[in-house]
Amino acid sequence: MRLNAKRRTLYAKRYTLYPFSGFTLIEILVVMTLLAVLTGLTIPVGLRFLRNEQLTSAGDDVIQSLRRAQELSRIQERDSSYGVFFTNSGYTFFKGTSYSGRDTVYDEIYELPSGVSATTNLAESDVVFGKLSGVPSEVGLISLSNSAGSENIEINSAGRISFL
């Protein structure tokens, strides 16, 4: 009987919940410090990734609009030329032989994402594609930039539109 009582006592000591059980202050501080360090490391990486994605997405949208204007000019949609006009904060897809002489009914205005700006080395800040040929009125670069970097889009004399 003594052996059985001794076992019960050891079991009770090992598995009894003490009234002061829980986490110590040091354990809580260590966990909070680890969480702060992990958060401090991941937030800048996540923001940089977001800015890069905004820039890439904006570049894809600009190229899509340029290619659409080129294709509609090639097929002579509504017997007209089409083009794209650029500002710092966005661009306008238009119908006509120039931005100043466009048919405003067909304007499609696109804003760039917040923090993304556009600059060009085009003389008139617009590119119009010739009917049937699809040849651009101007060749040059369109540069989109934000705090993460920049994307350059080239339009060459043959009408090729691509990222550099």
Tens of pLDDT, residues 66-93: 999 999 999 998 999 999 999 999 999 9
* pTM, 2 dp: 0.76
At the top level of CATH, the class of 26-163 is alpha beta
Sequence-separated (6 or more) residues with CB below 8 Å from residue 75: none
DSSP string, 62-130: HHHHHHHHHHHHHTTGGG--EEEEE-SSEEEEEESSSSTT-EEEEEEEEEPPTT-EEEE--SSSEEEEP
